[in-house]
Amino acid sequence: MQLIVDPALLRRNQLFSILSDAEMEAILGFARLRRVQADERIFAKGDPGDSLYVILRGRVAVQTESQEAKLMLLNILDAGAVFGEIAMLDGGERTATVVAQEPVELLRIDRRDFMPFLSGHADLCIRLMGVLCQRVRWTSAIIEDTVFLNVTRRLAKRILILARDFGRRTEKGVRIAAFMSQEDLANMLGVSREIVNKTLKSFQASGAITYRNGYIVVQDESFLEQVSR
């Protein structure tokens, strides 16, 4: 029986926004549902890239870990986001670990079903290349920020990205709905929690943000934009 999924949710992601209605229906015909509990690992770095996932409900953390057990939080994704597509397409190992931050409902699309479908849709392959190129550009931008920007600029830029992705406008400013501990922010930037704590305090002193109980409210976006340049 075919899954009943809101196409509008899937089309939030560029990978699915390029699909025709017929292509979307065909893919949903072999997709499967997977439910994951909070703190459960969906897959680990080094696992076989046998599927991609679409988040239908909930939020996940994409992270990697060095041989010295140093954690880096690469991204946080919520409903409508797709992950695992690159390893699924080339059949290689997973390049990161994905963990559920809360109960999550996922749409799973297996490589063994998707690749035969893709081979029969040459025009979709061309459209898919554009999507993957954007992913490469995003990765390159992250690397450039890490190499060329200091912590203050990188944290300001990261807060603006979080506000764009998870922001809810309120009377006090843009409240980032995702819980972000100082440890999470430090892992995103690859720096110590102490440095993040000091930088957050400077942003608060400038009136750019408030930070309480793990939640950030952006009060002066223009200040952060100026700092991030």
CB 44 within 8 A of CB 90: no
CATH architecture of the domain formed by 7-146:
Sandwich (2.60)
Q: Mean pLDDT across the stretch 178-194? A: 92
pLDDT of 3: 66
35's enclosing H/E stretch is strand 32-36
Q: Nearest Cα to 11, choosing from 98, 93, 79, 85? A: 79
Task: State CA 139 to chain mean position distance.
Answer: 12
Tokens describing residue 125: 């392959």
User: Is the pLDDT reported for residue 165 higher than 80?
Assistant: yes
The Cα 51–Cα 110 span in angstroms is 4
Q: How far apart are the first and last CA of the chain?
A: 51
Q: Mean pLDDT across the stretch 52-61? A: 94
User: CB within 8 A of 78, min separation 6: which ones?
Assistant: 55, 58, 59, 60, 165, 166, 178
The Cα 70–Cα 128 span in angstroms is 33
Q: Mean pLDDT across the stretch 163-190? A: 92
Q: Mean pLDDT across the stretch 86-115? A: 93
User: Is the pLDDT reported for residue 66 higher than 90?
Assistant: no
pLDDT of 131: 76
Amino acid at 144: E
Give me the chain's average pLDDT, please.
90
pLDDT range class, residue 2, cuts 50, 70, 90? low
Class level of CATH domain 150-228: mainly alpha
Write out pLDDT tens, residues 6-42.
878 888 877 788 788 888 888 889 999 999 999 999 9
pLDDT of 52: 92
User: Is the pLDDT reported for residue 172 higher than 80?
Assistant: yes
* Extents of the domains making up the chain: 7-146, 150-228
pLDDT range class, residue 126, cuts 50, 70, 90? confident
Output the pTM of the full model: 0.81
Q: Mean pLDDT across the stretch 184-196? A: 92
pLDDT range class, residue 105, cuts 50, 70, 90? very high
